[in-house]
Amino acid sequence: MSTPVHDDPLSRERAHLAASRSALRAMREDVQALDISDVTANWVNAAVLERQIEDRIKALADLSETPLFFGRLDYLHAPGAERAEGAEGERFYVGRRHVHDADGDPMVIDWRAPVSQPFYRASKKDPQDVSLRRRFGYTGGDLTAYEDEHLSDPGEAARTSRLLQREIERPRVGPMRDIVATIQPEQDEIVRAGLSGSVCVQGGPGTGKTAVGLHRVAYLLYAHRERLARTGTLVIGPNRSFLHYIEQVLPALGELTVRQATVEDLVGHVEVRGADEAATAVVKGDARMAEVLRRALYSHVSAPAEGVVVVRGSRRWRVPVYELEEIVRELLARDIRYGAAREALPRRIAHAVLVQMERAGEAPDDRVQDAVARNTAVKAAVKEIWPPVDPAKLVLRLLTDADFLAEHADGVLTEEERKAVLWAKPARSVKSARWSPADAVLIDEATDLVERTHSLGHVVLDEAQDLSPMQYRAVGRRCTTGSATVLGDLAQGTTPWATRSWAEALGHLGKGEAVVEELTAGFRVPTDVIAYASRLLPHIAPGLTPVASIRENPGFFEVRGTPGEGTPGEGTAAALAACGELLAREGSVGLIAADARVPELAAALGAAGIGYVGPGEETTHDTRLTLVPASLAKGLEYDYVVLEEPRAVVDGEPDERTGLRRLYVALTRAVSGLIVTHTAELPPQLAS
């Protein structure tokens, strides 16, 4: 007997998909049909409301390539209900967004809802009241497969999911995608950690740190939407191309409002046109600079030289020096910013005058206090005692005036360190100065000393290991009243000031209480490739756990070289040949090389008629090759990678450890295969 077409489980699931899609369409049409003319009294309200409606319509779009749901949970009992004998179970479809039918009953539940959590966390050991977990497989937009786990059935053995495996092995094209269908239990714990606490994730290449950080933002926005809409969220990445690579993940999850920035963007008070020597940048990025800046700023506050005399009508009121001193001392002792104290000072002086007036039998009110605070004598005294300070000018002076620096860095910086930070060619003005990235961070610190920086609700800091202590402080002051998710890998730190320990870094960030979690399961790099790259670990970050690849496909891995026999151009030719081979396969190809090698490789690709783009630029069907300078490879991934001349990657850095770390980053970008080409000797640390 043949089964009727609609009665096999797959057809039933397809029917539910079709019904969910029409329900979503109906939800969209409801919003589109909203007539706001009755509810908006003026055009400003109307414009705001229209904008909200447009956003809502966008959020309700049904993207044909993005499955509306990817999982199903059959609960033994209705969640939250008494688990009485015979109580009805309940079924939920888990998807990217909530969809309900005309009666308001859920057709698809948001993956972030509490009832969806067992989809990610339940196991045979801990079924969490789930009898069935079903994962769906899609081809294009069509539901084509499903896979069941009967979590509460002791007779069924636990096994790894084929669909999960297929998702992980899928060739990469274009920018980063969301992983919402396959978040792993240890990742989910980080994603759903509470908003109040900060989390730090140490994880090797491809362990999903970036993915976890972005999904955490989406989760927090769901769980604390109102609060975060008020306070704001921010994702910080190392450079533009990286931000471009990740920029579509949150919109795909329906989150359109999260700002993305680099640390340089955050501290952009001046135009950065200069660069520092490594030794100089190390000192400028040291947390002790905060103390130097604080001292330099407060050196502007001077002890009152004489009392203030306020003339009002026929009367003169005198605030004596000792009383002014007391006010200043009290303001210095308070935990308020330089600028706030400066604003408070005239009111305090006015208050002292008012007290005298009252003693003399007058009854002055607030208006009198305001008037006294604005009195020219008071203003002149304030300017003398507590002058306004421009943060950029303060930093300019510290970097140009050796005596000023010596005075405020005394006992903080050594003479050598002071020499290192002083500009060789002093600039005349803030405008003409060739500010370096580290200088901009100093100005940001000074700005915060003058006026408190606005704090956001949550900040995700990716590739954190490259930040200097002063940069950590800059990020930290943007989440003083909020929390942070810090993501990084100590082995991938390639700046001269790279993070040595997370405890220290979190201290600079002001989040010393953050929990440090470790991720070690690798989703990107194939076993053979990660094993090869991990040979470097003892030299670059002893003590770190090597990544264990969970990819079943062993990957494609070859080292091709003719050491000692290299003729000019031979290396380039070998790299191009390898690219040609890999481009014959499906997926993206990255050609990674030392920055100095990029112009020659670019010219050769051009001459050979092989099209390519730069990192962060969108590849197309015809142009699947990206030429990546090693300095920009961090955080990115390609299906296949050609790594040209490892020796040159190492030699491109100021010291060997940094060079080997750069090489470690470059070696760990491949998803399906890696070809290393070389004519120079390989670094000995790569020998087994």
Could you list the residues that contact ligand ATP (CB under 6 A)? 167-168, 179, 182-184, 187, 203, 205-211, 489, 492, 523-524, 635, 637, 668
Closest distance to ligand ATP from the beta carbon of 671 (Å): 7
Alpha carbons 451 and 389: distance in angstroms, whole number: 11
Beta carbon nearer to ligand ATP, 173 or 336: 173
204 annotated ligand binder = yes
Closest distance to ligand ATP from the beta carbon of 592 (Å): 13
- Please choose, from the candidates 333, 373, 329, 374, the residue with its C-alpha nearest in 3D space to the C-alpha of residue 351: 373
Could you please report the per-residue DSSP string of 429-493? STTT--B-HHHHHHHHHHHHHHSPPPPPSEEEE-SGGG--HHHHHHHHTTSSSSEEEEEE-GGG-
Beta carbon nearer to ligand ATP, 161 or 231: 161
Closest distance to ligand ATP from the beta carbon of 371 (Å): 60
Closest distance to ligand ATP from the beta carbon of 638 (Å): 10
Q: How far is CA 41 from CA 44, 45, 46, 55, 573, in A?
A: 9, 7, 8, 21, 70
Instruction: List the beta bridge partners of residue 142.
Output: 139
Alpha carbons 476 and 509: distance in angstroms, whole number: 4
Which pairing describes strands 130-139 and 315-319: parallel, antiparallel, or unpaired? unpaired
609 annotated ligand binder = no
Q: How many residues does the chain have?
A: 688
Give the burial class of 326: count Cβ atoms within 10 A of its Cβ; 0-12 exposed, 13-18 middle, 19 or more buried: middle
205 annotated ligand binder = yes
520 annotated ligand binder = no
Beta carbon nearer to ligand ATP, 60 or 633: 633
Beta carbon nearer to ligand ATP, 576 or 633: 633
Q: Which residue number has the CB closest to ligand ATP?
A: 208
Closest distance to ligand ATP from the beta carbon of 668 (Å): 6
Tell me the two tokens of residue 317.
């009121």
Beta carbon nearer to ligand ATP, 636 or 642: 636
- Please choose, from the candidates 171, 216, 184, the residue with its C-alpha nearest in 3D space to the C-alpha of residue 589: 171
- Please choose, from the candidates 568, 571, 545, the residue with its C-alpha nearest in 3D space to the C-alpha of residue 645: 571
Beta carbon nearer to ligand ATP, 134 or 348: 134
Give the sign of the dihedral formed by CA 252, CA 258, CA 262, CA 264: positive
590 annotated ligand binder = no
Alpha carbons 593 and 427: distance in angstroms, whole number: 37
Beta carbon nearer to ligand ATP, 331 or 525: 525
Closest distance to ligand ATP from the beta carbon of 230 (Å): 29
Which pairing describes strands 458-461 and 315-319: parallel, antiparallel, or unpaired? unpaired
- Please choose, from the candidates 684, 578, 596, the residue with its C-alpha nearest in 3D space to the C-alpha of residue 638: 578
Give the sign of the dihedral formed by CA 506, CA 510, CA 511, CA 513: positive
Closest distance to ligand ATP from the beta carbon of 529 (Å): 12
Contacts of 524 (CB under 8 A, 6+ apart): 205, 206, 551, 637, 668, 669, 670, 671
Alpha carbons 351 and 357: distance in angstroms, whole number: 10
Closest distance to ligand ATP from the beta carbon of 424 (Å): 36
Beta carbon nearer to ligand ATP, 519 or 676: 519
71 annotated ligand binder = no
Tell me the two tokens of residue 122.
């339940």
Closest distance to ligand ATP from the beta carbon of 533 (Å): 11
Beta carbon nearer to ligand ATP, 439 or 489: 489
Enumerate the known binding-site residues for ATP: 203-210
Enumerate the known binding-site residues: 203-210
